[in-house]
Amino acid sequence: MKILTTLISLLGLTLFAKGEPLAVGGAAPEVVAQDQNGQPLALKDVFAKGPTLVYFYPKADTPGCTKQACSLRDDWAALKGKGIQVLGVSGDKPEALKGFEAKYTLPFTLVSDPEGKVAAAFGVPFMGGMAKRMSFLVKNGKVVWNMPSASTSDHAKDVMKAFDALPK
């Protein structure tokens, strides 16, 4: 029953959720949320440390979201080599994110957004406790790239390609 509910929610999110993602050139939102350890995380502080991928995904430990997270994990050395930090944002509670992180040995920070405030700040549709799959690169406090329909298994490669195309 849980799988059926998740599938129906994802279908509804895809078909009915509308929103305008934060545009390239826009200021990165300065929101605070909890990480997978239940600790407060000020996105502004993360952005100050360097280029950051903020990717939104519907639900931890579901097939597409797992492929996406594992794509980033598997190319972690290449992402770090470019100086890219990663924040994965979903509507899951910290405990679920902690389990997702441990199960798949994810080396990056996961952000809990059950009320959708981080999603709203980025203009990401949020329905039924789930965000639409979208990604943003933030550099020097500005959005420098967005992907309104982020890939799953090739996500890391898409991000690195976009990063490499940015003006230096």
3-state secondary structure of 11: helix
Task: Report d(CA 58, CA 10) in Å as an integer.
Answer: 7
Name the phi and psi angles at 140, rounded to 5: 55, 40
Residues 6+ apart with CB under 8 A from 53: 72, 79, 84, 85, 86, 87, 135, 136, 137, 138, 159
Question: Catalytic residue among 28, 41, 65, 84, which?
Answer: 65
Torsion, Cα 141 117 45 22, to 10 degrees, reads -10
Q: In the annotation, is 65 catalytic?
A: yes
Task: Report d(CA 71, CA 128) in Å as an integer.
Answer: 26
What's the chain's Rg over C-alpha atoms? Answer: 15
Task: Report d(CA 108, CA 74) in Å as an integer.
Answer: 12
Catalytic residues: 65
